[in-house]
């Protein structure tokens, strides 16, 4: 089993949804990213999506857009992201997913990027803007490097698209809770249960993780009753953004701890 597989198996045995956190590498610095990752593990996180900052993050809302802008202003490069991943791998047992738009990886070179991610200790890769139809031209290098490839499915995905995304995914299938960009919402959409049901029909035994819009314990609790994993990004990034210097790790750990507890299932 891959490290991602192990995290979902353990969460299932402990009667909870796996908690998948997101950070933008380099926001506000590489050192701080490593410290925040350690705080997330201490709070109970299972998986970290380590975001590659990009100048045109079309799938992201304002919180992660600002994080990417701060990281780029600090001159964070893909090599810096790999250095952060290497340090996080040495300091934690988190499963690590390289989370990126395809453009930075293509500019770096897909083979070089795949090998760099694997040697840095990443376990998987999620390319937000690569649909299943374009996967043959992009993902083989990551598969050859031993990385799990994770694809997105959404409420607007038809059955064929869901099956294609699931067939290409390893580790888990990422189910987008609603159309539109990332960002915490007050509530989850009423048709989420139906979206997850359709994703399960497509995915079979592959774990399902739900993200986009989850930012409160109540939202995490509802998602955990439906899915095998709960993904939170914008709320954690916002907590770090709002905290004073020296308190960011504590603020992120506090929120993550409440979200992790909400992922436990009763009965």
For residue 93, indicate whether it is catalytic: no
Give the ranges where 50-158 is alpha helix by DSSP (H): 62-73, 78-91, 102-108, 110-119, 140-144
Angstrom distance (rounded) from CA 128 to CA 81:
17
| 235 is a domain residue | yes
Q: What share of the chain is helix, strand, coil (3-state, %, to 5)?
A: 50, 15, 35
Q: Which of 215, 219, 222 is nearest to 239 (CA)?
A: 215
| 228 is a domain residue | yes
> Residue 252 has what pLDDT?
98
| 267 is a domain residue | no
Strands ordered across the beta sheet of 124-127: 148-150, 124-127, 95-100, 47-51, 18-24, 229-232, 208-211, 173-176, 152-153
Instruction: Answer yes or no: is pLDDT of 144 > 80.
Output: yes
Q: Which of 49, 174, 173 is nearest to 123 (CA)?
A: 49
Q: State the catalytic residue, choosing from 27, 41, 46, 60.
A: 60
Which is higher by pLDDT, 15 or 183? 15
Instruction: Answer yes or no: is pLDDT of 28 > 60.
Output: yes
| 73 is a domain residue | yes
- Domain extent, residue 38, equals 3-262
CA contacts within 13 A on the Cβ side of 255 = 24
Is-contact 30 38, C-beta < 8 A? no
Average pLDDT, the chain: 94
Q: Across residues 244-255, what is the average pLDDT?
A: 96
Q: How many CB atoms within 10 Å of residue 111?
A: 13
| 216 is a domain residue | yes
Is-contact 151 173, C-beta < 8 A? yes
pLDDT digits (tens, 9 = 90+) for 146-192: 999 999 999 999 999 999 999 999 999 999 987 665 655 666 778 89
> Residue 184 has what pLDDT?
58
Instruction: Answer yes or no: is pLDDT of 110 > 60.
Output: yes
Q: State the catalytic residue, choosing from 41, 49, 141, 228.
A: 49
Is-contact 233 49, C-beta < 8 A? yes
Instruction: Answer yes or no: is pLDDT of 1 > 90.
Output: no
pLDDT digits (tens, 9 = 90+) for 222-242: 999 999 999 999 999 999 999
Confidence category of residue 213, pLDDT binned at 50, 70, 90: confident
| 211 is a domain residue | yes
For residue 49, indicate whether it is catalytic: yes
pLDDT digits (tens, 9 = 90+) for 48-83: 999 999 998 888 889 999 999 999 999 999 999 999
> Residue 186 has what pLDDT?
61
**Number of structural domains, the chain?**
1
Q: What is the CATH number of the domain that holds 113?
A: 3.20.20.70
Q: Across residues 7-25, what is the average pLDDT?
A: 98
pLDDT above 70 covers what percent of the chain?
A: 96
């Amino acid at each position: 089993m891959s490290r991602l597989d192990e995290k979902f198996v353990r969460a299932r045995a402990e009667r909870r949804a796996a908690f998948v956190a997101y950070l933008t590498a380099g926001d506000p610095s590489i050192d701080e990213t490593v410290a925040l990752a350690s705080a997330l593990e201490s709070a109970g996180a299972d998986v970290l999506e380590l975001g590659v900052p990009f100048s045109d993050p079309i799938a992201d809302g304002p919180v992660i857009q600002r994080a990417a802008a701060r990281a780029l202003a600090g001159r964070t490069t893909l090599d810096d992201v790999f250095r952060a991943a290497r340090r996080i791998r040495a300091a934690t047992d988190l499963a690590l997913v390289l989370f990126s738009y395809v453009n930075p990886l293509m500019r770096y070179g897909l083979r070089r990027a795949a090998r760099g991610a694997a040697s840095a200790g990443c376990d998987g890769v999620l390319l937000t803007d690569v649909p299943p139809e374009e996967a043959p031209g992009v993902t083989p290098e990551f598969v050859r490097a031993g990385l799990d490839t994770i694809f997105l499915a959404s409420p607007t995905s038809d059955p064929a698209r869901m099956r294609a995304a699931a067939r290409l995914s390893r580790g888990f299938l990422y189910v987008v809770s609603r159309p539109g960009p990332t960002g915490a919402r007050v509530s989850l959409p009423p048709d989420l249960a139906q979206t997850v049901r359709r994703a399960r029909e497509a995915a079979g035994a592959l774990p399902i993780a739900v993200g986009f819009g989850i930012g409160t314990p109540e939202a995490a609790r509802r998602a955990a009753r439906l899915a095998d994993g709960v993904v939170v990004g914008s709320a954690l990034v916002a907590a770090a953004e709002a905290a004073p210097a020296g308190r960011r790790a504590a603020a992120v750990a506090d929120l993550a701890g409440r979200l992790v507890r909400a992922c436990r299932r009763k009965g």
